[in-house]
Structure 1
Amino acid sequence: MKTFIITGASKGLGAAIAKRVLGSSDRCILISRTKDPEWEEVASQSGTKFTFLPMDLKETEKLSSLVRDMLMEVDAKSDIYFINNAGVIDPIKPIGNLGQESLETSMRVNFMAPAVLTDEFIKQTKDSDRKKVVVNISSGAAKNPYHGWAAYCSTKAGLEMFTRVAGLEQGKAPFPASLISFSPGVMDTDMQGTIRSADEQDFADRDKFHEYKDQGMLRSPELVAEKLLQLLEAGDLDNGKFYDIKDLL
């Protein structure tokens, strides 16, 4: 039996993964600020049991109890696939114009939340002899700088290194978890719309992202979800590795 736990499950890649898993009869725990009404319909057609846990991940003080709540929903013998997908692209501003509040929100959602969730997940499952996989959704921005993306690039880079360290450490654990970073590339999501609507003075590469859209170069979240789940089903994961969608196509 498999249980998938997905943050940011109501939009973009998270929604595509959720709907695919809901249609597969695997157990599903979905975490987001809002509930998608389609989940009930998809789950009823496949007989999948799912749980919705409402949470705004910038409220990092609540994340330890969130992990306890979600693990209470997991069967004792089930494999667990925990996908930290939630993220924000804002603020898209050059350094000097970021603003503390926007910068803190980016750091909380993009870095602190998945880091705390991963830390608590490992802590609370360390004595559990089952398959445990944590996927931290990353980005090419974790490895490459973009004008106006200081917050996004920095938080994704921090999460990528956090995942590498966790993967290294788990290699010596009695009941190890597998942890990977996964870069989905450019997708046709609301986040891309936010990027395209940025002021050109704030984001120098804005026109390039308009070209991605106009020339049909944006991948569908459904395709990316399919490739990620195929990667997880293959089972042979290098702990701490950064996986790029381009290498799976």
Structure 2
Amino acid sequence: MKTFIITGASKGLGAAIAKGCLQTSDHCILVSRTAHPEMQRMADRSGTKLTFISLDLNETEKLPSLVNEILTAVDDTSDIYFINNAGVIEPIKPVGNLGIVNLETSMRVNFMAPIVLADEFVKQTKDWNRKKVLVNISSGAAKNPYHGWAAYCSTKAGLEMFTRVAGLEQDKTSFPTSLISFSPGVMDTEMQGTIRSADERDFADRDKFHEYKEKGILRSPEFVADKLLQLLEAEDLENGKFYDIKNLL
């Protein structure tokens, strides 16, 4: 049996992954602020069990109990795939104009939330002898600086190092969780629309992202989700590794 847990599952890549999982798994647990009505209809057609949990990941104090709620719903024999997908691109501003409110939201959603979720997941499943995979959705911004993306680049870079350290540690445990990063590249999502609408004074590469859209370079979330799900079928995932979609094409 397979259980998929996906955060940020109401739109973009998260929704695409969820739709793929509803066709291939036994149980999908979706976490997002709002429900996606189509998901229940898909679950009914495929016969897949669907659990939806409404939560804003900005509320990090609620995350330990969220993991407990999720794991209580998981079948005793099921392999588990936990995909930390939720993220925000804002604030798109140069340093000196970030603003504490938007900066704190970025830090909580992009960095604190996936780390707390991973920490609780590893702690609560340390004695579970089954396949356990945790994916942190990363970005090229984890490795490359972009003008105006100080918050996003920093949080993704921090999450990348966390994944590497946790993977190193898990390789020394009796029943390890495989923790990996996955960089989906440029996709045709709502986040891309936000990037293109940024003020060019705040984001120097804005025209390049308009060009991606105009030239049809942006990949569909469905295509990316399919590549990720194929990757997760592999039995030899390297713990702590950064997997880039460009190397999977």
Same topology, TM > 0.5: yes
Number of equivalences: 249
SS in 1 for 2:181: strand
Amino acid at match of 2:50: F
Deviation of the 1:40 alpha carbon: 1.1
SS in 2 for 1:234: coil
Alignment TM-score, normalising by the size of structure 1: 0.99
SS in 2 for 1:148: coil
1:95 maps to: 95
- Listed one character per residue, the Cα deviations across residues 122-144 of structure 1 (whole Å, up to 9, x for unaligned) are 00000111110000000000000
Deviation of the 1:236 alpha carbon: 1.4
SS in 2 for 1:134: strand
Deviation of the 1:25 alpha carbon: 4.2
Map residues 100-139 of structure 1 onto 2, 5 A cutoff: 100-139=100-139
Query: Are 1:12 and 1:189, in contact at CA under 8 Å, matched by a contact in 2?
Result: yes
SS in 1 for 2:5: strand
Query: Are 2:142 and 2:157, in contact at CA under 8 Å, matched by a contact in 1?
Result: yes
1:72 aligns with 2:94: no
Deviation of the 1:19 alpha carbon: 0.7
SS in 2 for 1:147: coil
Q: CA RMSD in A?
A: 0.5
Identity fraction in percent: 79
1:145 maps to: 145
Amino acid at match of 2:110: N
Map residues 1-249 of structure 1 onto 2, 5 A cutoff: 1-249=1-249
Measure the CA separation in 1 of the matches of 2:11 and 2:180: 22
- Listed one character per residue, the Cα deviations across residues 170-216 of structure 1 (whole Å, up to 9, x for unaligned) are 01011100000000000000000000000000000000000000000
SS in 1 for 2:24: coil
Amino acid at match of 2:151: A
Amino acid at match of 1:40: Q
SS in 2 for 1:23: helix
Amino acid at match of 1:46: S
Alignment TM-score, normalising by the size of structure 2: 0.99
- Listed one character per residue, the Cα deviations across residues 43-95 of structure 1 (whole Å, up to 9, x for unaligned) are 11110001001010000000000000000110011000000000000000000
Measure the CA separation in 1 of the matches of 2:75 and 2:90: 37
Measure the CA separation in 2 of the matches of 1:25 and 1:38: 17
Measure the CA separation in 1 of the matches of 2:26 and 2:148: 40
Measure the CA separation in 1 of the matches of 2:228 and 2:98: 33
5+ residue gaps, structure 2: none
- Listed one character per residue, the Cα deviations across residues 145-171 of structure 1 (whole Å, up to 9, x for unaligned) are 000000000000000000000000001
Query: Are 2:10 and 2:32, in contact at CA under 8 Å, matched by a contact in 1?
Result: yes
Query: Are 1:25 and 1:46, in contact at CA under 8 Å, matched by a contact in 2?
Result: no
